[in-house]
Structure 1
Amino acid sequence: MGTDGSIPGAARLHLVDGITLLRPEEQVFTAMLAGFANQQLARNLARSTVEGRENTVKAFAAYVNTYPWQWTPAMVDEMARRPALATGAETLDDPLLL
């Protein structure tokens, strides 16, 4: 906890009261990716591993054209069945399954 009793990464540390976000979904997704990267870096994973996982998540988001909180297991299954688009979703190391 911070000196003011806040938890590191808490939204109120990054947002200003009374200000509306212009593109909230996009901004939340970007913040989620940053948090995902920070968690992995804290585990001393190689930056190349973290970037590869982030790129996989971004590619999947572009493929299904939705944000993570709207994803369904069927979307992951569909992508995994397409050989040209598959990211290895059937493996335990896949970022979509972490």
Structure 2
Amino acid sequence: MKKLLFSFVLGAMAMNAMAQAMSPAAKEAHTRSLQCLSKYSAQLDDGVSNVETIAKVVANSCREESVRFVDIWTAGVVVDKQAILSKVLTSNVESASFYILSNRASKK
């Protein structure tokens, strides 16, 4: 749990730095992606199943928002969008895991 929290905090710091360099449209798309992760983490968690398994389902459920975010964020820039999307989707699994664990802890 401490390792996951530490990873999440580092990821959040990196995302905060990244957010400062984003356009308003990209910030909005990023916010929608995080809101999707939070929403589905709460809806899909039964409180018993393996967190990583649920987190993968949550991340997949929010894939459309993530693709939209990457498309907006990288518009007009020559980058490997697939590589960036892959990293974003991996980060989404970690974020969903954090949301799930946070929700479970708050119910105790």
The TM-score normalised by the length of structure 1 is 0.37
- Structure with larger RCO (C-alpha < 8 A, sep 6+): 2
| Structure ranking higher in helix proportion | 2
The TM-score normalised by the length of structure 2 is 0.35
